[in-house]
A and B are shown apart, each in its own frame.
Chain A
Amino acid sequence: MERGYWIKSKPVYTSLVWHEKATSHLVLAAGIGGMAALKLFQQMHPAQPVTVLYAKYAQMEVDYSATLKKIVPDNLHVFKFEEDLLTELKSIMPHMRMGLRIYVAGSEGFIWDVAKVVKPFGVENDHIMKELTDTLARSVYCVHCKAITRNVTTNIVQCCGCERMLFVRDHFSRNLGAYMGLMVDAESPGELPAIEEIYP
């Protein structure tokens, strides 16, 4: 299989910036992503309504909730875990109207979990502003057994489903929110290249 090509399906993440023309804003942050939310309010306090959902215990346990409470005027909701935030997100989405802009900051796993929740409500991932914080850890889709192994920090990982050793390719599926994992030693069983941490 090919190695080392620059693969253009990889998402590009940016720094969060308010969308000036929005009629309302929804900010979703987890862990260190709280800092990205704070930076947004450092830019300005928008005139339009803003809702902020923050999960304090993400991958790295850094809690910005105290500072956020001081800065965000109202409509701040703090959750312990990402799953709780996603549940709340699902329940508020039906009330949203066109003109809403969504901002997400956190790990790649969190970002694509959010994209998955809002998609059924008609929000395409292109319209979500995304900032990668926290960690570079990847979700890896095993092309052989279809299981997704989360929080992968190494170039090669054992599949949580079929236990094959997978090479983590740069090819990314927005639908699955995961990179492709392909058996690394299929042509020469047992011969593994060095396993290195490259997505800390």
Chain B
Amino acid sequence: MNMIDVRVAAVEQVTPLIKHFKFVKEDGSQLPPFSGGSHIVVAMDAEGRTYRNPYSLMGSPTDTDAYHISVRRQENSRGGSAYMHENVRVGMTLKITHPVNLFTLAKMAHKHVLIAGGIGITPFMSQIEDLNRIGADYELHYAFRSYKQAAFVEELQKACGNKLHCHSDSDGHRLDMEALLRSQPLGTHVYVCGPSPMVVAVLETAKNLGWPDSNVHNEQFLAPPVGETFKVQLAQSNIEVQVPAEMSMLEAIEAAGVQADYLCRGGVCGRCELSVLECDGGLEHNDHFLTESEKASCSKIMPCVSRTKGKRLVLDL
């Protein structure tokens, strides 16, 4: 994969749990432009292992001087977000992928309803730049626990004006999903990014109100869950790889020196799909890509987020 070398130009503590990082190109040249909703994968070399985590780009897509990401420190971090918070400092160099967009704006939409929960605000910060530029009709609903924990409210007010609607739990201003989605004009698309219960609530509400699936968009990167230790036999490379509890299968395969395809590393894009040749105890599918019947067939797996419940797996790699 074609990586870009960047230097950390600024780090800012935005809230007690959120840090904002600014990257510029190491050689001083311009970064590629991108489309609102894109993410990059940041590679972090930490004590002999490499974390690769996806983060949404939140700056202006037309600003090619620098990229901006925000990282929320996860409570049960496997190491990636903790590494970003503790080890990444101004002046350091990192490798990032080119931007990838799995959360695009629907270009033919008549209206856009954006719903963010907490750190899920980040992909919308680049999208609103695109929406403002093309003069689109939109509203942004930003839900959070309290104003103290909410990042970027001032920036958003400046960018969105009265199109921004804040919903603070602590003030009792909860977002009424049903009321919001019931009254929208034809041709509206809804987008949600946030904690899993919120995403599920939006998807369910839209479905129950008769919205077509193609008008409903969500981004839900999954952090690879911690699981049991198991062994993977790679049939083509003819090697066996031990997958520790806190490492994803993809990370373990890479650590063993085997090149595997990937894009989002969050169970969304389908790029890392592998064929399962043998499996002794059932698969633990955690991705959003495979269909239910594919999952049931036990013949394919997304190594970026999924694991086996058994002790040993044989993959066609």
Partner-B contacts on A (CB < 8 A): 19, 21-23, 93, 96-101, 121-124, 126-127
Contact = CB atoms under 8 A, between A and B. Distances in A.
A98 B207 contact: no
28 contacts: A19-B210, A21-B207, A21-B208, A21-B210, A22-B210, A23-B182, A23-B209, A96-B186, A97-B183, A97-B185, A98-B181, A98-B184, A98-B209, A98-B210, A98-B215, A99-B210, A100-B186, A100-B210, A121-B110, A121-B186, A121-B187, A122-B110, A122-B185, A122-B186, A123-B187, A124-B212, A127-B212, A127-B214
Summarize B's interface: helix, strand, loop or mixed.
loop
Given A23-B182, A122-B110, A122-B187, A99 B214 contact: no
Is chain A's binding surface mostly helix, strand, loop or mixed?
loop
Given A21-B208, A21-B209, A98-B209, A126 B214 contact: yes
B188 A122 contact: yes
Contacts of B212: 124, 126-127
Q: Of B109, B207, B212, B214, which is in contact with the most chain A CB atoms at under 10 Å from its CB?
A: B212
Given A97-B182, A97-B183, A97-B186, 12 more contacts: A21-B209, A23-B209, A96-B186, A98-B185, A98-B188, A98-B209, A99-B210, A100-B186, A121-B110, A122-B110, A122-B188, A126-B212
B186 to A, nearest CB: 4
Contact of B184 (A22, A93, A97, A126): A97
A23 B187 contact: no
Contacts of A98: 181, 184-186, 188, 209-211, 215
Contacts of A124: 212, 214
A97 B181 CA distance: 10
Contacts of A23: 182, 209-210
A121 B185 CA distance: 9
Nearest to B207: A21
A6 to B, nearest CB: 25
